[in-house]
Amino acid sequence: MEKKDFTTIRKKLGKTQKEVATLLGVSLKAVCSYEQGWRTIPTHVERQLLFLLTRKRKSSTKSQNCWELKNCPEERRNKCPAWEFNSGKFCWFINGTICECAAQKSWNEKILICRNCIVMKDTK
């Protein structure tokens, strides 16, 4: 996540730096450092911030899960953690999902795919 993305999401949440620091369980200094680009935004902070944004926003595809939106074949669905844990609206949050026909090895690889996915775009 880039510093401008962090700041944009914080503002969409309607939170001050201090408030978002409390929500994320980090210091105010850390949030300032993320927004200035002095410190890399850790994966767990990025995931939590995106999660909060999805809970705040209204979704136009509320009734559809990722496997419905992407028309995943049953054999792929049955191997996917999003299906297993009935988390089709939060597939981007779960590592090991079978997006683009393969599970990604890291959060950074996964989130690159997810940012261009209809499921994730619907949360922004």
Residue pointed to by tokens 């999902």: 97
Contacts for 23 with CB less than 8 Å, ≥ 6 apart: 15, 48, 52
User: What confidence tens digit (pLDDT) does each residue in 78-109 have?
Assistant: 999 999 999 888 888 888 888 877 888 888 88
User: What confidence tens digit (pLDDT) does each residue in 15-52 have?
Assistant: 999 999 999 999 999 999 999 999 999 999 999 999 89
Q: For the domain 3-56, what is the CATH code?
A: 1.10.260.40
CA 32 to chain centre: 21
Question: If phi over 0 gives left and psi between -120 and 50 gives alpha, with beta otherwise, what is residue 4?
Answer: alpha
pTM of the model: 0.73
Q: Where are the domain boundaries for CATH 1.10.260.40 in the chain?
A: 3-56
